[in-house]
């Protein structure tokens, strides 16, 4: 057993020490004590240990030595040169049974005599190394002498973030329908549209629509996205997370900030704030607050930057290390009930799936989900309820700050109202979504990933839409799909890593709620189809250069049932430079 520093001081201070049997023995003990003191001085001079900490160590050792010296039982001197174990490494050797009752010895001043056996050179070297290791370990743990030392609770907090610069060009095809056109004949008194932001009806509905959206002129813009996340491990089973980002409180699907604000400062928003509980370990995760997407999905239904508000629970079970089953359920409020102002609206999500691995890199993952939107469809105002409920229409509004474009809308105002239209959704939404991702190994050693995603709105019913709106819908689509193939690393991080992909996307007008789907393809929303080609390359570690080209075409007209059908074809080119930390 090696000598701790307080034992060394217990044997060399606090009592009168009898003369050793040789000058060499006394010299050896003095050398050990001098070595310890010199080591502490070197640590202080090197900035590893402060003088106060060194003095505290010595004082603590002497205090313990004083406390233990009176209880030490003297033993007859039994020198065993070079045998550290027989000498007890500085402790009194055990005499034979007949001599256990040792006689205490005192000097002429009445002080107790403690005899110290011989300490070999090997023992002294081992002692020096042990003291050095223990002190250095404690110094590293407590960060002695480090002016930048931080409180221990920060060891449970992690920071992460990313910064992205983007150049984006929007190329609009010749022959696109001019803005301001896209409503059914006003004599039908239905005022239906799929792109309320492309043209608006003035106060007098008998007038001409006023355009407020560009469908014909090419444009480009520079954008920036900055995000900073904080994760705190509250306990082994509880995590608290926050993330701040650029963006605003009206655009739910993007955290980009468009440059060109005359050097004005940017808005920073709280993008995520949630608690994660894992009382059963990694098998189940309970979350509450504003959280990242808890479902296995693509951006066909949920935009990449979309945050979910509410509660969710996810669970998984692994079988044999090669396959697993998983399930997720969540409740997410969209608006709270306010008497006379708004109805309670929410989306309930349920998903179940499985994943199976084979070989070193092969895997198939499949998830089936249903997203049930509650109380989102509009309802036509009547002359009777208009007289008693002045804010009736607002209860069923699908607001401009909420929607993108593509869903079939109708004016929920009383038919002969001359005010600004209030748009509501023509269809209910109960979305069934099947997602599958297949990873295949290749001869080049790079993953080949095939993604398939299909969606259909089970609540889309033309008879129900006619009863709700007073208009028979002859076009519109309730389904969509995404097919994508990618070669290369799933996540590009290290210098030289890359991937490239090709995808085809088709999303009918009422296949899913347009508010939450991708905001880049076809200028955002539903009712579009086309190709996406992209690639990523890491020019440095955690520094990625990306390029993406999206070519989209409108599926159905802005105006349900209009003849001729309106046209909107958009090519979007994006170049990104992104860093992660």
Same domain, yes or no, for 107 and 203?
Answer: no
- The lowest-confidence range among 225-229, 242-246, 429-433, 566-570 is 566-570
How many whole angstroms separate alpha carbon 530 and alpha carbon 516? Answer: 19
Q: Which of 502, 493, 495, 494 is nearest to 448 (CA)?
A: 502
Residues 463 and 551 both lie in one domain: yes
CB contact set of 216 (below 8 Å; sequence gap of 6+): 172, 176, 178, 179
The span from the CA of 526 to the CA of 509, in Å, is 5
What is the per-residue pLDDT for 418? 57
Same domain for 201 and 81, yes or no, is: no
Quick one: 183 and 114 in the same domain? Answer: no
Pairing assessment for the beta strands 210-211 and 238-246 based on DSSP bridges: unpaired
- Overall average pLDDT of the 326-347 stretch: 86
Asked if the structure places residue 245 within a domain, the reply is no
| pLDDT at position 14 | 43
- Point out which residues pair with 352 in neighbouring strands: 327, 368
**Tokens 């070193």 correspond to what residue?**
360
Check residue 3 and give its pLDDT: 45
pLDDT band at residue 233 under the 50/70/90 scheme: very high
d(CA 565, CA 169): 26
User: Among residues 246, 232, 255, which one has the least CA distance to residue 307?
Assistant: 255
Per residue, the 3-state secondary structure of 180-247, as one string, reads CCCCCCHHHCCCCECCCCCEECCCCCCCCCEECCCCCCCEEEEEEEEEEEEEEEEECCEEEEEEEEEC
Q: Which sign, positive or negative, has the C-alpha torsion 208, 392, 512, 255?
A: positive
Q: Rounded distance, CA 125 to CA 117, Å?
A: 17
Total structural domains within the chain: 2
Take residue 229 and report the two structure tokens written for it. 């996340």
Shared-domain flag, residues 566 and 520: yes
pLDDT digits (tens, 9 = 90+) for 50-67: 777 778 777 777 777 666
Q: What was the pLDDT predicted at 153?
A: 67
What per-residue string of b and e applies to 32-59 under the rule 16 or more CB within 10 Å gives b?
beebbeebbeebbeeebbeeebbeebee
263 domain residue, yes or no: no
Residues 120 and 169 in one domain: no
403: DSSP letter: -
Other CB atoms within a 10 A radius of the CB of residue 271 amount to: 19
Taking the CA atoms of the chain, what radius of gyration do you get in angstroms?
Answer: 38
Which tokens hold the place of 140?
């590293």
Asked if residue 312 has pLDDT above 80, the reply is yes
CA-CA distance, 25 to 33, in Å (whole number)? 13
Q: Is the per-residue pLDDT at 302 higher than 60?
A: yes
Whether 252 maps to a domain, the answer reads no
Residues 350 and 403 in one domain: yes
Q: What angle do CA 476, 477, 482 make, to 5 degrees?
A: 140
**What pLDDT does 152 receive?**
66
Full-model pTM? 0.74
Range with the poorest average pLDDT among 206-210, 235-239, 378-382: 206-210
Which residue among 149, 177, 205 closes a domain? 149
Q: Are residues 218 and 139 in the same domain?
A: no
438 in the same domain as 403: yes
344, part of any domain: yes
- pLDDT higher than 70, residue 571: yes
**In a domain? residue 124:** yes
How far apart (Å, rounded) are the C-alpha atoms in residues 377 and 526?
17
What's residue 340's pLDDT?
62
Nearest CA among 137, 132, 150, 149 for reference residue 43 = 132
Is 102 inside a domain boundary?
Answer: yes
DSSP string of 10-25, one letter each residue = HHHSSSEEPPPSSHHH
Mean pLDDT computed over 334-359: 86
Name the band, by pLDDT with cuts 50, 70 and 90, for residue 138: confident
Q: Do you find a cis peptide bond into 564, omega within 30 degrees of 0?
A: yes
Torsion, CA 150, CA 155, CA 157, CA 158, rounded to 10: 100
Place of tokens 């008497």: 339
Place of tokens 């606090």: 14
Q: Are residues 79 and 115 in the same domain?
A: yes
Q: If we measure between CA atoms, which residue out of 499, 500, 505, 542 comes closest to residue 520?
A: 505
Flag whether pLDDT at 19 surpasses 50: no
pLDDT (average), residues 400-418 = 81
- pLDDT for 33-53, tens place per residue? 777 777 777 777 766 667 777
Taking phi first (over 0 means left), then psi (-120 to 50 degrees means alpha), and beta for anything else, what does residue 411 get?
beta
Q: What is the pLDDT of residues 494-543, one digit of tens each?
A: 999 999 999 999 999 999 999 999 999 999 999 999 999 999 999 999 99
CA–CA dist 56, 445 (Å, integer)? 59
pLDDT for position 190: 53
Three-class secondary structure of residue 530 per DSSP: strand
192-201, 204-213, 267-276, 304-313: range with lowest mean pLDDT: 204-213
Of 91-105, 281-295, 428-442, minimum mean pLDDT range: 91-105
Tell me, yes or no, whether 92 and 167 share the same domain. Answer: no
Strand-pair category, 16-17 with 113-114: parallel
Rounded Cα gap, residues 131 and 6, in angstroms: 11
Q: Which of 93-102, 272-281, 436-445 has the lowest mean pLDDT?
A: 93-102
Helix (H, G, I), strand (E, B) or coil at 457: strand
Domain limits for position 76 = 5-149
Stretch (H or E) spanning 54: helix 51-69
Task: Give 413-419 contacts, CB < 8 A, sequence gap 24+.
Answer: 413/381, 414/381, 414/382, 414/383, 414/386, 415/189, 415/380, 415/470, 416/189, 417/381, 417/386, 418/203, 418/204, 418/205, 419/203
According to the model, what pLDDT value does residue 566 have?
Answer: 84
The token duo for 356 is: 């199976």
Give tens-digit pLDDT for 174-183.
Answer: 988 887 654 4
User: What confidence tens digit (pLDDT) does each residue in 71-127 have?
Assistant: 554 544 444 444 444 444 444 444 544 444 445 677 667 777 766 666 677 777 788
Maximum alpha-carbon separation in the chain: 125
Residues 54 and 197 in one domain: no
Q: Which two tokens stand for residue 151?
A: 């409180």
Last residue within a domain, chosen from 149, 175, 199: 149
* Domain CATH for 373: 2.40.160
> Does 202 fall in a domain?
yes
Per-residue pLDDT at 120: 73
pLDDT of the residue at 281? 81
Distances (CA, A) of 21 to 14, 81, 103, 175, 297: 20, 12, 19, 110, 82
Mean pLDDT, all residues of the chain: 82
> What pLDDT, on a 0 to 100 scale, did the predictor assign at position 86?
40
d(CA 342, CA 376): 11
Task: Decide which of 149, 183, 203 is a domain's last residue.
Answer: 149
Residue 148 has pLDDT above 50, yes or no: yes
Q: Is 217 inside any structural domain?
A: yes
HSE value, Cβ hemisphere, 13 Å, CA-based, for 249: 4
Residue pair 57/5 in contact (Cβ under 8 Å)? The answer is yes
């Amino acid at each position: 057993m090696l000598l701790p520093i307080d034992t060394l001081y217990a044997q060399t201070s606090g009592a009168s020490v009898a003369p050793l049997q040789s000058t060499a023995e006394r010299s050896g003990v003095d050398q050990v004590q001098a070595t310890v003191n010199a080591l502490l001085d070197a640590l202080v001079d090197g900035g590893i240990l402060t003088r106060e900490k060194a003095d505290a160590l010595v004082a603590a050792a002497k205090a313990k030595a004083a406390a233990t010296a009176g209880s030490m039982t003297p033993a007859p001197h039994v020198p065993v040169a070079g045998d550290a174990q027989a000498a007890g490494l500085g402790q009194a050797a055990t005499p034979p049974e007949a001599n256990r009752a040792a006689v205490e010895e005192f000097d002429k001043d009445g002080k107790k005599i403690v005899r110290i056996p011989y300490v070999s050179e090997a023992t002294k070297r081992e002692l020096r190394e042990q003291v050095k290791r223990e002190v250095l370990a404690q110094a590293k743990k407590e960060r002695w002498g480090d002016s930048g030392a931080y409180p221990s609770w920060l060891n449970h907090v992690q920071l992460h973030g990313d910064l992205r610069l983007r150049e984006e060009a929007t190329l609009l095809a010749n022959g696109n329908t001019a803005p301001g056109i896209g409503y059914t004949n006003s004599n039908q008194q239905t005022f239906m549209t799929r792109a309320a932001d492309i043209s608006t009806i003035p106060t007098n509905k008998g007038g001409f629509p006023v355009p407020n959206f560009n469908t014909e002129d090419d444009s480009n813009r520079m954008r920036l996205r900055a995000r900073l996340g904080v994760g705190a491990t509250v306990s082994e089973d509880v995590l608290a997370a926050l993330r701040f980002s650029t963006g605003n409180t009206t655009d739910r699907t993007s955290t980009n900030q468009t440059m060109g604000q005359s050097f004005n400062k940017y808005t920073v928003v709280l993008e995520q704030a949630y608690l994660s509980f894992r009382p059963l370990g990694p098998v189940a995760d309970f979350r509450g607050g504003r959280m990242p997407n808890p479902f296995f999905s693509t951006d066909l239904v949920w935009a990449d930057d979309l945050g979910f508000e509410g509660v969710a629970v996810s669970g998984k079970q692994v079988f044999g290390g090669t396959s697993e089953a998983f399930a997720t359920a969540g409740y997410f409020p969209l608006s709270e009930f306010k008497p006379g102002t708004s109805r309670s609206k929410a989306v309930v999500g349920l998903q179940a799936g499985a994943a199976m691995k084979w070989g070193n890199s092969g895997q198939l993952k499949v998830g089936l989900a249903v997203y049930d939107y509650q109380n989102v469809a509009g309802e036509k105002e009547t002359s009777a309820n208009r007289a008693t409920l002045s804010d009736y229409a607002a209860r069923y509004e699908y607001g401009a700050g909420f929607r993108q474009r593509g869903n079939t809308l109708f004016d929920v105002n009383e038919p002969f109202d001359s005010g600004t239209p209030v748009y509501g959704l023509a269809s209910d939404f109960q979305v069934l979504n099947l997602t599958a991702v297949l990873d295949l190994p290749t001869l080049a050693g790079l993953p080949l990933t095939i993604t398939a995603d299909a969606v259909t709105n089970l609540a889309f019913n033309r008879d129900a839409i006619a009863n709700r709106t007073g208009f028979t819908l002859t076009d519109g689509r309730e389904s969509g799909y995404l097919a994508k193939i990618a070669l290369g690393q799933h996540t590009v991080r290290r210098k030289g890593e890359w991937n490239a992909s090709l995808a085809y996307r088709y999303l009918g007008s009422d296949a899913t709620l347009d508010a939450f789907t991708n905001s880049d393809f076809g200028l955002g929303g539903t009712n579009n189809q086309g190709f996406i080609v992209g690639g990523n390359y890491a020019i440095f570690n955690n520094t990625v250069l990306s390029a993406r080209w999206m070519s989209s075409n409108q599926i159905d007209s802005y105006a349900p049932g209009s003849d001729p059908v309106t046209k909107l074809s958009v090519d979007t080119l994006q170049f990104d430079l992104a860093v992660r930390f």
